[in-house]
Amino acid sequence: MKIAMIGTGYVGLVSGACFSDFGHDVVCVDKDASKIEALNAGRMPIYEPGLDSLVAANVAAGRLSFTTDLAPAVAGADAVFIAVGTPSRRGDGHADLSYVFGAAEELAATLDHDCVIVTKSTVPVGTGDEVERILRDGAPGRLHSVASNPEFLREGAAIGDFKRPDRIVIGAEDAQGEAVLREVYRPLFLNEAPILVTRRRTAEMIKYAANAFLATKITFINEIADLCEAVGAEVQDVARGIGLDNRIGAKFLHAGPGYGGSCFPKDTLALLKTAQDNEVPLRLVEATVQANDLRKRAMGRKIIQAMGGNARGKTVALLGLTFKPNTDDMRDSPSLAIVQTLLDAGARVTAYDPEGMEIAAPMMPDVEMKQSAYAAAEGAHAVAIITEWDAFRALDLARLGSSMADKLFVDLRNIYRRDEVARHGFRHIAIGTRAE
């Protein structure tokens, strides 16, 4: 099949590379000329494990290419995917659909054949109807089919998620949309990926309901962690104790500094806006959003409290800045609020992140970026693990502590056992466990 991908960000690039790996002929389009230039020179604009070799192999095979030019990319395409950003609209939290509608308008003006247009971006219920209207008004007489195919990949594990998805959701209003999408994903049926075909609005809703549920699950265990600290219980054992119940499931039960990233914060807000517009209260999601917002700064205060309640003039070394490991994505990362809380309290902050520092540095200009965890810890009064990168799971604790001014180890991801940290003379503070 011939596929065009409009938007070559995390989702567009990974989806485009994987579709081409299935054997389809894929052209990825982006307005950002520097991104396309980098890709054409073999450089990845994002950090995602395995992406560079996947892209290189499919470019070499002649199945994958990159361009800023929409017209040749969509000429003769069987399916055109829209995978542009849908960030929070400034000021009100609604999804900003200007990129999606902009892409639809460009398609209406450019396509000279009937085609299936698929929204892969996360969009509020009813967006497909509006895309259809734009295409009808902009290209009268054309019979485009507009479908929804929400994406569930996780950054850091994106290729595996795309190639071995838990499910594929197709929202179609006509037989053509369903048939073309079934054909696009046919290579995955051989792996028996379940495919769920629904009406378009239902598919749009599934994506938001999934993200809101996962955000709520994380927030639930974070609040249980706080209660564990107050009553002397161990949240990791509680998480295991409930997660082994098949009705609950073990995933997304890791207590930590709160969720961040490019999806959960903006998608929960957008869902709440849809609910408000329709006068349907979603109290659980409201509580989740509020609890998570408060939690991020609370984590900064937790570090300060561990330092005796006063961080003025002291140095805190942060290990990890990205919202999760194996990505350089800094969007809505808890580290942003933690850094601000520490700086507001008069602390000096150093940091090391294996992949995120280039993007993080301009977002936190007062933080001193270092070239290793050990360099960040030099002279520090506390180290705090913010992101559970593998590189932080087996630190040489003797070396780490040897140059510190005070040996305090705050583990906001619960990746160390207290006894192994204490053995090297550290005081240990973690999440959802007794203070010491």
Ligand X SMILES: NC(=O)c1ccc[n+]([C@@H]2O[C@H](COP(=O)([O-])OP(=O)(O)OC[C@H]3O[C@@H](n4cnc5c(N)ncnc54)[C@H](O)[C@@H]3O)[C@@H](O)[C@H]2O)c1
Helix (H, G, I), strand (E, B) or coil at 110: helix
Residue nearest to ligand X (CB): 9
Tokens of 233: 């219980």
Kindly state whether residue 99 participates in binding ligand X, applying the rule CB under 6 A: yes
Q: Which of 35, 295, 370, 407 binds ligand X (CB under 6 A)?
A: 35
Per CB under 6 A, contacts with ligand X among 146-205 are 151, 153, 155
Q: Which of 3, 18, 28, 29 binds ligand X (CB under 6 A)?
A: 29
The one catalytic residue among 28, 115, 228, 263: 263
Q: Is 301 exposed, middle or buried (0-12, 13-18, 19+ CB in 10 A)?
A: middle
Query: What is the distance between the alpha carbons of residues 302 and 255, in angstroms, rounded to a whole number?
Result: 14
Nearer to ligand X, 85 or 320 (CB): 85
Query: What is the distance between the alpha carbons of residues 395 and 233, in angstroms, rounded to a whole number?
Result: 27
Kindly state whether residue 85 participates in binding ligand X, applying the rule CB under 6 A: yes
Helix (H, G, I), strand (E, B) or coil at 434: coil
CA end-to-end distance (rounded Å), the chain:
60
Q: Select from 34, 111, 128 the least CA-distant residue to 73.
A: 111
Query: What is the distance between the alpha carbons of residues 216 and 291, in angstroms, rounded to a whole number?
Result: 10
Kindly state whether residue 12 participates in binding ligand X, applying the rule CB under 6 A: yes
Q: Which of 1, 49, 57, 102 binds ligand X (CB under 6 A)?
A: 102
Q: Of the ranges 56-64, 98-106, 183-191, 273-281, which one interacts with ligand X (CB under 6 A)?
A: 98-106
Nearer to ligand X, 12 or 258 (CB): 12
Per CB under 6 A, contacts with ligand X among 347-406 are none
Tokens of 157: 């594990």
- Starting from the edge strand earliest in sequence, which strands make up the sheet with 195-198, in order? 64-67, 25-29, 2-6, 79-82, 116-119, 145-148, 168-171, 195-198
Q: Which of 10, 47, 162, 392 binds ligand X (CB under 6 A)?
A: 10
Q: Which of 65, 86, 222, 333 binds ligand X (CB under 6 A)?
A: 86
28 belongs to the catalytic site: no
Is the Cβ–Cβ distance between 126 and 108 less than 8 Å? no
Kindly state whether residue 103 participates in binding ligand X, applying the rule CB under 6 A: yes
Is the Cβ–Cβ distance between 304 and 410 less than 8 Å? no
Q: Which of 2, 31, 297, 301 binds ligand X (CB under 6 A)?
A: 31
| Residue ranges in contact with ligand X by CB under 6 A | 6-12, 29-32, 35, 83-86, 99, 102-103, 106, 121-122, 151, 153, 155, 262-263
By annotation, the residues acting in catalysis are: 263
